[in-house]
Every structure is written in C-alpha cells, then in structure tokens.
C-alpha cells in the first residue's frame, strides 16, 4: 500500500510522458481516416465517428507507393548489411591492433562523416552520381547510406569487440584455427547481440533517411520518406493521404524495434556505454 | 585526402603479419588497413574523400546545375559570406543549444524514473520509444497539421481551456520554438534510451552504501549517480549537438525555413542554394565554409571518442 | 490543277527525304511505341489526367506511366533528365516561369507545325495571349495545360448578411475585409503569405499599383513608391486575415477558405475543382467569384501549367498524339469534366453545358487578355525566393517596407547581374 503510494508520482510522470509521446501518433492515424472537411474541423474532433478508408485505398493503389516501399526495403536491407559488416570488421581491427599508422586519418574521416551535415556531402555527391550515370539508382543510395552510418556502426561495435576475451581467440589459434576461422567461430558468436543492436539502429536511420534520396533519386529509387514528403507541395497538400502513407510507413520499423527493444537497451549498455 | 597514402592495394597482405623485424612494421600497418579497414575505407573514399575534394574544386568555379563554369577564384566564398550565411549559422547554434537544454534534462529524468523498474515499465518504455522510430518527414508533417494556428489541434485544445491561440508557425520566435519542440519530441526518446542504458550499467555498491549512510534520493543522485553518469551524458550531449546541427528534414517540412529566414539553418540554406537555385558552385563553397566552422565540433567529437 | 499536284508531291518527297536524313527523329518514330512516360506535378490536373489515361491506353494499346514530384523539386528533376539525354520522359508538365530555362536549354520540341497541322488540336481556339503562353523565342514549346488567372472568391452568405457588394477596386476589397473582420462573424480575407509563394501575390499588387520588378532598362525598380504602396497594402490585408495566413501557401489559404469562415480570398482559378468539391469544401453553395479588383492598372496575374515534349524523348510522335488527345479541343473538355483545372479555350467558354457546371469559364479568355505572366527568367527560383524573404520580413514586423525593398533591390541587382 505505502509502496504503491510512493510509486505514484513515478507512474504519473510516465503516464503523462506516454500521452505526450502517443498523442501525435494517434492524431496521424485519426487524420488518415477522417474526411478532408473533418480534418480541419474546429473545435477539433478527437474521434472519427464515420471513418473513411479512402485514403488508404488511394495510397495502396498507387503504384508509386508500392515501388517506393519495395525500394526502401531493399535499400535498407542492403545498406544495413554493408554498414554493419564494414563497421564490425573495422571495429575489430581498431580494437585488436590498437595503434597503427594511418589510424588517425581513419578516425578523422569517421568524425567527418558523423558530424558533417548531409547536405555538405550531397552537393558534390549529386554531381558525381550524375556524371557516373547512377543518378536515381538504388545502388548509389546503398553505398551512400552505408558510408553515412559507418561511424555509428564502428562506434557501437568497438564496445562489443572489446568485450570479447582475447584468451579465447588465442586458444582457438593454438588449436590450429586460422584468422578467418577465429573471426567466424569465436568472435562472431560473442558479438552476435551487438551486431543485432547495431543492425537495428542502422536500419532505423536508413529507413528514415530523407535528404539523400531527395537529392540523389528521382523515380526508380524514390524511397518512402520522399514519397510521404511528396504530399506537401506549394500547390496541393493532401493531409489524409499523407497521414495514411505515414501510418503505413511506421508499421514495419515499429514492429521490428518493439520485437527487439529489450535487446536494444541491453546491447547499448554492454556495448557503447561500457567502453 | 590521405586515402591514397593509407589505402593499400586490395589483397596485398592476406594473413596476420608475423611479429618482429624491421620492414615488418610497415607491412603490419598495411595489413590492418587491408584486412579489416578495407571495406570501411572504400566507403569513406567514395562518400567523403572524393566528394569533399570535388567540393573544393567546384567552389572555385561559377558552375550551376545547368552549365559547367569557369575558374573564378574565391568569388563564391565572398558571395557566401556576404549572403544569408551568418543568420543561418546563428539559428543553427540556437537549435543546437536549445536541443541540449530541453532534451537532456527531460530524457535523463524519464530514464531515472524508468530505472526504478515500476510495474509496467516495459510497456512505458515501449511507448516512450515510439517517437524516435518515426520518419522525421512524417513527424514534421503531422506537427505542421497540429500546429496550424487556425485549424490545428494544439490551438483547438488551447481554445477549449481558454488559453490564448498562439501563432506557432507564423511568428518569428514561435516558429523557432516550434522547431525546437518538434525536434525534442522526436529525440528525447533517444536521450532517454542511452541514459537508461548508462544507468543500468552503473554498479549498485556506491548507491547502496549511500543509502546505508542515510543519503536522500536527491543527494545520492547529485553526488553519486550524476558523476558516474557523466561519461555517458557526454556521449549523449555530443550526439545531440551533432544531430541538431545537421537538422534538415523537420525544418524542410515544418517551416521551410520561414517565416522569412527565421528558421533557415545551414543545412536548409545549403540545400536552397544548391538545389532550388541550382547554384552548385556556390553551394559547394558554402559546404566548405560549413566544414571550417564545424572544426570545434569535430574536435569535441574526437575528445569524446578518446574518452 | 495538275502542276499543282506535281509540286505538292515533289514537296512531300523533299520533306520525306530531309526527315529521313535527320534520322534521329525519324527512325525511332517508325518503331511501334508501346509505352510512354509522362512527368506530372501534383495538382487537380494530375488527378484528372490519371483518371483519363486508362481510356487512352485501351484505345491505343500504349501503356502510359505517370511519374510525379512535388512542385519544389519537379523542375530540377526534369532539367536533370534533359541534361542526361536518356529520353527518360516523353511528356513533362511544367510551370510557366520555367519556359525560359527550358527554352534556353533547347530542352523541349517546337510544336508549332504540329498544332497548326492538326485537325483536332484547335490552335485557333485560343485568344492571342494564350496562343503565346507557351512560346519562347518564337518556338511553341509548351501547350496550355491549364489557364489560371487570379480570381476573387467570396462568401455570398457573409456578403448578404453584412450588405456588402463585390469590390471593383483594391480599396473596396480591403474595406469589405475590414467590415467582415470587425463583425466578428468571420475573418476578412485570406491569401498566401508564406515565402516563397508570397512573391506571386505580392507581384500582383505591385502590378496593380503601377510598379514592376524592373524598369525599361532592365534595372531592378522595387524601391518605387508603387512598390512601397503595394507592400503596405499587402501587410494591411494580413491584419484582416486568419492568424495562420502568415504561414499559409496557396493550398493552406484555400483550405482555410473552404473549411473555416473567411469572407474573401484571392487565388488562382485552378483551385476551382477543390473549392467546389463538396467532399472538401463546407461552403459550396455559398461561394461566389468574380474578376479580381483593380488598382491604378487592371492587370491580372495569369498563371497556368504548360505541357511539352522533351527533345531527348525517343517517342516524340507518339507523345504528340497523346498530347493532341489530352489537351486538344476534345480532350480539354474531358479534362475539365474529370476535375482538372480549365484550359482557357474560346470553344469551352461558349459551350453552355460546360459553362453551367463551370460558370467561370467565360472569364478565362478575357482575363488572359489583360493577363501578365510571372517573369520567365532563368533566375526566377532565386528571385522568387528573395522576394519571398524580403516581403515576409515586412509581414512579420522585422523591418519596414522601404528598408526591406531597398535590400530587395540590391538582391535583385546581384542576381540579375550574374
């Protein structure tokens, strides 16, 4: 009884915070099932008495939406694998080899990618991509996304690799395993949870990336964020359609993250934070 | 710029280098780059080294998206520095400082409460993480709908409570507040998540000892938890500073930098010059200038990395 | 008779050989085309075209793919595709101010001969101003996809209740707005005030008050008393507008007019399908419209989409056939019925059935004759952006009109001087 009372303020804080977090999401979903007149009704209505599914029908029937969804899935998967692989490998090299020539310049590059606004790179990248004839190609997006997320992957994975006892690797080598074998059979299983956490973070950032596809893609490589952003123009804003597309775009990544969010906290606390 | 010096020919050295010997050190150095850093270096070269080099070249020419230009020396730089650059730099700093001031206390506070493992914590945590999962573009759009001074739900609710209806996106100051608010809504969960991870990795012993000594909750937070958490908070602050400097999506959707140039930060200005006005030479110059003004941030990031 | 026919045959032969010599344009056209790609910009017209296309696909067996991009990015993306010369798009929809940029690049095909020789297009069906609407440097590179002068929209119920009449001058327009605002029943008026699109509305006032962007020598002239008066007037209107007008673009303003209580609005006729759609508009039965008021001049800003064929398209013949079907005499009417913005054809203004549903049609050719277009300059995006910022600075109270216009004047010299 007293314990419940003591915990009351805590619960109160969390409930208020949850409401603040949920309300805009609720409002988006609500907007997606309202008619256009109701969207602008004042005073606002907090419930759709007569929900319409037109907006969803319209969005799902749009071949451009389907294409954007497929492109986003493929590009996210490919670039996440690439960034995580390159990042994990680099993290291993950095941890196990410590100081070596050229390390400073490598670190410097990672810092540059991490801290530079995307647009600074996007201006010359645009020119390169156009000149190479890979403008509007998913491949260009995969490479750029992977590079942009590389620092984060290296940073996260460094913590996990540090957690692998070096003695285990030595023991495997004594047993005659070569370096590839050590990496595959000893290191990989131990950094598994870390790889999972890194993958999810990178996938999340890739899925939501807006500026790069806005600049480097047009039609064949248009991604969902750009598609959703397309509902706003200087002449027409289709709020209902936008809300429907946004609601659909949220689902996969929210599902994925809620499935693994327990690992996310654990992964972060044993990885990045402890180093 | 140093890529050519340090990127080895692929596949030159396969196995782990042997120990000892004079020329071995050089080979060993190659080996690290070739074996473990090669994929990373390739990505870095393609997306940073080459583009930034090209940026320098572009910035010295008066090229546009439609035509290649001729060499004009530093004219693009003088154009940039006499244009909208300074106000944009100012507003970028404002967004960045405000992000820290708003997001860190709230995020840390929520993490502290979550860390008490009250009943239902897992559910609370799932819900509180949601905003950070949403596409920033969608976040910008829905807040733009909600913040509309006449038709938005925020003023609608304010009206029901007899509060004044503020012109969220139409007033120069409030538009800045709105951007800060929306950025905070989306990113407090991230601060919370990292703080929570930090809290959970702290050892219990010092806190238990303090409790035995009769310290109040506030005292043990101030004198024990906070100092132990400082490294984590340093990382969090660093990430948020960087991300808020890079802020683009939310502004692009929510205010387009307006009213006037009240919310036009460096990212948006650079986008405008390069892609709306198609003035690529000047946009490249602006990019280089941004690199230069961000040097303190790079340095800070380096310090945090070394910590 | 006979020599005549002989001559004609000879001419036809010469024409055929010269066409074949061009090769590039003739050869691909000989091939059977089974697909076309068209680039549109989100608008009621795009929706209408999408509605009509299946019919064309059924008639011809050609698959038509529609690609779109938001207004802010559309032209940049189109320009890029022209530059790469891959023939990515067979037809593009573009806004009139980009005529200069596209024309300078030689990006679009001259359609003069095609429209003149077509029996179905009806080029004579336009008043001269509209025949010239897509002409740059003597070449017809853009057909009219819509004709959208500014119109005055008002609420008949509010006018009746307050005993107001349709304003003929901008002074009367403001006086009406003030009375409506003071009555507390509704907001006085609405239009776009958010930059950069505020530049379009501000230009209307500049012209109405007798000013212009540049003087006879091409030097910027926005420090003139007319420009100051126009800016002051624009600001005065903001005071009798809904609160969010300051951050409204054309669509936000229209949303306010059709879902809230606002007495009057100045916006493009192209918003008709939205304003009169009972699904979107609460006041369909109470909405009146008229030509916009005048100031010291009676200039009306004339906008409207163009549509053309990129020079790098490999299917120019098939593309022309689709355009002839889509925006020719017949097609224009179908487009309107499908919910698109109207094209200002004389035949449509005279078609009683069409006019019954779209009573503003007769206004279009007339408005086009008084009409003035947005400047067709390569630098237009930058100019429009700069106007938008300087005008917004006045609207938000950052500076006064004269200071801001002085700054705008030097901005413009800088942009035009490059």
pLDDT one-digit tens code per residue, A218-256: 888 999 999 888 877 655 667 888 889 888 887 776 777
What pLDDT is stored for residue C8 in this prediction? 45
Nearest to B128 among A17, A24, A128 (CB): A17
Alpha carbon distances (Å) from B67 to A126, A127, A203:
14, 12, 37
Buried b (16+ CB within 10 A) or exposed e, B66-86: beeeeeeeebbbebbeebbbe
B279 contacts chain C (CB < 8 A): yes
Angstroms from B280 CA to nearest CA on chain C:
12
Domains C18-147+304-372 and C149-302+379-417 share a fold: yes
In this predicted complex, what is the ipTM? 0.89
Which of chain B's residues have a Cβ under 8 Å away from the Cβ of C192? none
Chains A, C: CB pairs < 8 Å: 67
Window C:48-77, CB contacts with A under 8 Å: 67-73, 77
Model-level pTM?
0.89
- Domains located in chain B, CATH noted: 3-59 (no CATH), 83-306 (1.10.3720.10)
d(CA C254, CA A239): 14
Which of chain A's residues have a Cβ under 8 Å away from the Cβ of B249? 210-211, 225
A117 contacts chain B (CB < 8 A): yes
Which of chain B's residues have a Cβ under 8 Å away from the Cβ of A143? 43, 46-47
Residue A166 has pLDDT above 60, yes or no: yes
Residue ranges covered by each domain of chain C: 18-147+304-372, 149-302+379-417
Angstroms from B106 CA to nearest CA on chain C:
30
Window A:50-79, CB contacts with B under 8 Å: none
Q: Among all residues of chain C, which has the CA nearest to that of A64?
A: C67
Position of tokens 């804003």? Answer: A237
Would you give the end-to-end CA distance of chain C in angstroms?
59
What pLDDT is stored for residue B254 in this prediction? 93
A13-17, A126-130, B219-223, C290-294: lowest mean pLDDT where?
B219-223
Nearest to A45 by CA among A27, A32, A29: A27
Query: Average pLDDT of B156-165?
Result: 92
Encoding tokens for residue C370? 């008084």
Nearest to C194 among B258, B272, B279 (CB): B258
Give tens-digit pLDDT for A104-115.
Answer: 888 899 999 989
Nearest to C72 among B148, B167, B276 (CB): B276
Tell me: cis bond preceding B259? Omega within 30 of 0 counts.
yes
Per the CB < 8 A criterion, the answer to whether A138 and A71 are in contact is: yes
Residue B1 has pLDDT above 50, yes or no: no
What pLDDT is stored for residue C3 in this prediction? 42
- B55 to A123: CB separation less than 8 angstroms, yes or no: yes
Give tens-digit pLDDT for B126-157.
Answer: 889 889 888 899 899 889 989 999 989 999 99
Query: Average pLDDT of A129-152?
Result: 92
What pLDDT is stored for residue B17 in this prediction? 41
What pLDDT is stored for residue C1 in this prediction? 39
Angstroms from B82 CA to nearest CA on chain A:
19
- C68 to A64: CB separation less than 8 angstroms, yes or no: yes
Tell me, which fold does domain C18-147+304-372 have in CATH?
A: D-Maltodextrin-Binding Protein; domain 2 (3.40.190)
What pLDDT is stored for residue A39 in this prediction? 85
What pLDDT is stored for residue C297 in this prediction? 94
What pLDDT is stored for residue B44 in this prediction? 92
- C251 to A234: CB separation less than 8 angstroms, yes or no: yes
Structural class in CATH, domain C149-302+379-417? alpha beta
Encoding tokens for residue C345? 């054809």
Which of chain A's residues have a Cβ under 8 Å away from the Cβ of B130? 21-22, 25, 254
d(CA A227, CA A222): 7
What pLDDT is stored for residue A156 in this prediction? 85
A94 contacts chain B (CB < 8 A): yes
What pLDDT is stored for residue B27 in this prediction? 61
Chains that touch A (3 or more CB pairs under 8 A): B, C
Query: Which spans in A175-238 are helix H?
Result: 179-181, 188-190, 192-208, 211-216, 224-229
d(CA B13, CA B27): 8
Q: Among all residues of chain C, which has the CA nearest to that of B146?
A: C244
- B201 to A10: CB separation less than 8 angstroms, yes or no: no
Which of chain A's residues have a Cβ under 8 Å away from the Cβ of B301? 111, 114-115
Give tens-digit pLDDT for B78-112.
Answer: 999 998 999 999 999 999 999 999 999 999 999 99
Nearest to C243 among B165, B261, B276 (CB): B165
- B274 to A147: CB separation less than 8 angstroms, yes or no: no
- B134 to A208: CB separation less than 8 angstroms, yes or no: yes
Alpha carbon distances (Å) from A23 to A44, B68, B70, B111, C190:
14, 50, 54, 20, 30
DSSP, residue by residue, B102-115: HHHHHHHHHHHHHT
What pLDDT is stored for residue B12 in this prediction? 33
Buried b (16+ CB within 10 A) or exposed e, A207-218: bbbbbbbbbbbb
A74-88, A143-157, A198-212, B32-46: lowest mean pLDDT where?
B32-46
Encoding tokens for residue A70? 């497929």
Q: Among all residues of chain B, which has the CA nearest to that of A146?
A: B43
Give tens-digit pLDDT for C53-99.
Answer: 999 999 999 999 988 887 777 888 898 888 888 888 999 999 999 99
What pLDDT is stored for residue A196 in this prediction? 86
The CATH code belonging to domain A53-270 is: 1.10.3720.10
**Which residues of chain A form CATH 1.10.3720.10?**
53-270
- A40 to C251: CB separation less than 8 angstroms, yes or no: no
Give tens-digit pLDDT for A20-69.
Answer: 999 999 999 999 998 877 888 878 888 888 888 988 998 898 888 899 99
Handedness of CA B7, B11, B15, B18 (dihedral sign): negative
Give tens-digit pLDDT for B211-261.
Answer: 888 888 788 888 888 999 998 898 899 889 999 999 999 999 999 998 999
Q: Each residue's pLDDT tens digit in chain C (418 positions)?
A: 344 444 444 444 444 434 443 434 444 444 578 899 999 988 888 889 999 999 999 999 999 998 888 777 788 889 888 888 888 899 999 999 999 999 998 999 999 999 999 999 999 999 999 999 999 999 999 999 999 999 999 999 999 999 999 999 999 999 999 999 999 999 999 999 999 999 999 999 999 999 999 998 889 999 999 999 999 999 999 999 999 999 999 989 999 999 999 999 999 999 998 899 888 889 999 999 999 999 999 999 999 999 999 999 999 999 999 999 999 999 999 999 999 999 999 999 999 999 998 988 998 988 888 899 999 888 898 999 999 999 999 999 999 999 999 999 999 999 998 6
What pLDDT is stored for residue A270 in this prediction? 56
* Percentage of residues in chain A having pLDDT higher than 90: 36
Mutate to test the interface with C, among B153, B276, B281, B283 (most CBs of C within 10 A): B276
Chains that touch B (3 or more CB pairs under 8 A): A, C
Angstroms from A205 CA to nearest CA on chain C:
23
Handedness of CA C181, C185, C191, C192 (dihedral sign): positive
Counting Cβ atoms within 10 Å, is residue C261 exposed (0-12), middle (13-18) or buried (19+)?
Answer: middle
What pLDDT is stored for residue A210 in this prediction? 94
Give tens-digit pLDDT for C327-355.
Answer: 999 999 999 999 999 999 999 999 999 99
Query: Average pLDDT of B182-189?
Result: 96
Counting Cβ atoms within 10 Å, is residue B249 exposed (0-12), middle (13-18) or buried (19+)?
Answer: buried
């Amino acid at each position: 009884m007293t314990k419940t009372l003591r915990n009351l303020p805590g619960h109160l804080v969390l409930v208020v915070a949850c409401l603040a977090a949920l309300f805009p999401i609720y409002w988006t979903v609500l907007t997606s099932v309202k008619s256009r007149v109701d969207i602008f009704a004042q005073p606002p209505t907090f419930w759709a008495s007569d929900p319409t599914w037109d907006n969803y029908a319209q969005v799902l029937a749009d071949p451009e939406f389907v294409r954007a969804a497929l492109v986003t899935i493929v590009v996210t998967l490919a670039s996440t694998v690439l960034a995580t692989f390159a990042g994990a490998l680099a993290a291993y090299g950095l941890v196990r080899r410590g100081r070596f020539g050229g390390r400073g310049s490598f670190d410097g590059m990672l810092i540059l990618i991490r801290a530079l606004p995307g647009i600074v790179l996007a201006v010359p990248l645009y020119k390169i991509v156009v000149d190479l004839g890979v403008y509007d190609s998913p491949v260009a997006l995969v490479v750029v996304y992977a590079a942009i997320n590389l620092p984060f992957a290296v940073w996260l994975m460094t913590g996990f690799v540090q957690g692998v006892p070096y003695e285990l690797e030595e023991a495997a080598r004594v047993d005659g395993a070569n370096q590839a074998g050590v990496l595959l059979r000893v290191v990989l299983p131990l950094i598994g949870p870390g790889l999972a956490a890194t993958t999810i973070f990178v996938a999340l950032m890739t899925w939501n990336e807006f500026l790069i596809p806005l600049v480097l893609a047009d039609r064949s490589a248009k991604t969902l964020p750009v598609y959703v952003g397309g509902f706003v123009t200087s002449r027409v804003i289709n709020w209902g359609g936008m809300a429907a597309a946004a609601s659909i775009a949220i689902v996969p990544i929210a599902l994925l993250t809620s499935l693994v969010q327990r690992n996310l906290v654990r992964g972060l606390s044993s990885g990045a934070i402890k180093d | 710029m140093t890529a050519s010096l340090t990127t080895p020919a692929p596949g030159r050295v396969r196995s782990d280098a042997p120990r000892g010997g004079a020329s071995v050190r050089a080979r060993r150095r190659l080996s690290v780059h070739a074996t473990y850093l090669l994929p990373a270096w390739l990505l870095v070269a393609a997306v940073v080294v080459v583009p930034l080099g090209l940026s320098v070249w572009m910035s010295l020419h008066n090229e546009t998206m439609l035509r290649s230009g001729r060499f004009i020396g530093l004219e693009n730089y003088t154009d940039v520095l006499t244009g909208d650059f300074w106000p944009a730099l100012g507003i970028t700093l404002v967004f960045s400082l405000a992000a820290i001031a708003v997001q860190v206390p709230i995020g840390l506070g929520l993490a502290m409460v979550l860390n008490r493992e009250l009943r239902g914590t897992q559910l609370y945590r799932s819900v509180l993480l949601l905003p950070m999962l949403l596409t920033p573009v969608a976040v910008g759009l829905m807040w733009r709908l909600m913040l509309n001074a006449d038709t938005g739900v925020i003023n609608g609710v304010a009206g029901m409570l007899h509060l004044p209806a503020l012109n969220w996106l139409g007033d120069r100051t409030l538009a800045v507040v709105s951007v800060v608010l929306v950025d905070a809504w989306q990113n407090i969960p991230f601060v919370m998540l990292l703080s929570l991870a930090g809290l959970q990795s702290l050892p219990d012993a010092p806190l238990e000892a303090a409790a035995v000594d009769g310290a109040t909750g506030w005292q043990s937070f101030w004198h024990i938890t906070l100092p132990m958490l400082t490294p984590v908070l340093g990382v969090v602050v660093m990430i948020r500073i960087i991300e808020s400097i890079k802020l683009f999506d939310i502004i692009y959707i929510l205010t387009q930098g307006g009213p006037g140039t009240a919310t036009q930060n460096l990212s948006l200005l650079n986008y405008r010059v390069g892609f709306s006005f198609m003035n690529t030479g000047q946009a490249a110059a602006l990019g280089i200038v941004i690199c230069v003004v961000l040097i303190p941030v790079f340095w800070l990031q380096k310090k945090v990395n070394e910590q | 008779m006979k020599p005549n026919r002989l001559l004609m045959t000879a001419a036809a032969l010469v024409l055929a050989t010269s066409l074949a010599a061009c090769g590039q344009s003739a050869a691909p056209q000989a091939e059977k085309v089974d697909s076309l790609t068209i680039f549109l910009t989100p608008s009621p017209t795009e929706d209408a075209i999408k509605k009509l296309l299946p019919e064309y696909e059924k008639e011809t067996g050609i698959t038509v793919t529609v690609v779109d991009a938001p207004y802010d990015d559309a032209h940049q993306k189109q320009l890029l595709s022209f530059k790469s010369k891959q023939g990515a798009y067979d037809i593009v929809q573009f806004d009139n101010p980009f005529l200069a940029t596209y024309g300078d690049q030689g990006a679009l095909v001259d359609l003069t001969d095609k429209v003149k020789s077509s029996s179905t297009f009806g080029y004579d069906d336009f008043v001269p101003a509209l025949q010239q609407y897509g002409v740059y440097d003597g070449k017809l590179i853009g057909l009219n996809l819509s004709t959208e002068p500014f119109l005055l929209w008002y609420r008949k119920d509010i006018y009746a209740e307050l005993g107001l009449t349709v304003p003929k001058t901008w002074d009367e327009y403001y006086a009406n707005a003030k009375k409506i605002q003071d009555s507390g029943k509704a907001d006085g008026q609405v239009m776009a005030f958010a930059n950069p699109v505020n530049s379009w509305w501000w230009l209307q006032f500049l012209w109405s008050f007798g000013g212009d962007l540049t003087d006879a020598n091409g030097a910027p002239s926005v420090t003139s008393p007319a420009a100051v008066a126009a800016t002051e007037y624009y600001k005065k209107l903001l005071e009798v507008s809904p609160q969010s007008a300051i951050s409204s673009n054309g669509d936000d303003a229209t949303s306010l007019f059709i879902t809230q209580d606002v007495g009057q609005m100045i916006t493009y006729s192209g918003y008709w399908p939205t304003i009169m759609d009972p699904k979107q508009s609460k006041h369909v039965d109470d909405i009146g419209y008229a030509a916009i008021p005048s100031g010291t001049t009676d200039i009306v800003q004339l906008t409207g989409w163009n549509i053309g064929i990129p020079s790098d398209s490999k299917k120019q013949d098939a593309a022309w056939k689709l355009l002839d079907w889509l925006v020719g005499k017949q097609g224009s009417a179908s487009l309107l019925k499908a919910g698109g913005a109207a094209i200002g054809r004389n035949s449509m203004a005279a078609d009683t059935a069409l006019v019954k549903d779209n009573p503003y049609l007769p206004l279009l050719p007339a408005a086009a004759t008084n009409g003035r277009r947005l400047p067709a300059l390569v630098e237009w995006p930058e100019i429009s952006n700069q106007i938008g910022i300087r005008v917004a600075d006045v609207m938000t109270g950052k500076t006064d009109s004269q200071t801001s216009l002085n700054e705008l004047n030097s901005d413009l010299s800088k942009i035009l001087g490059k």
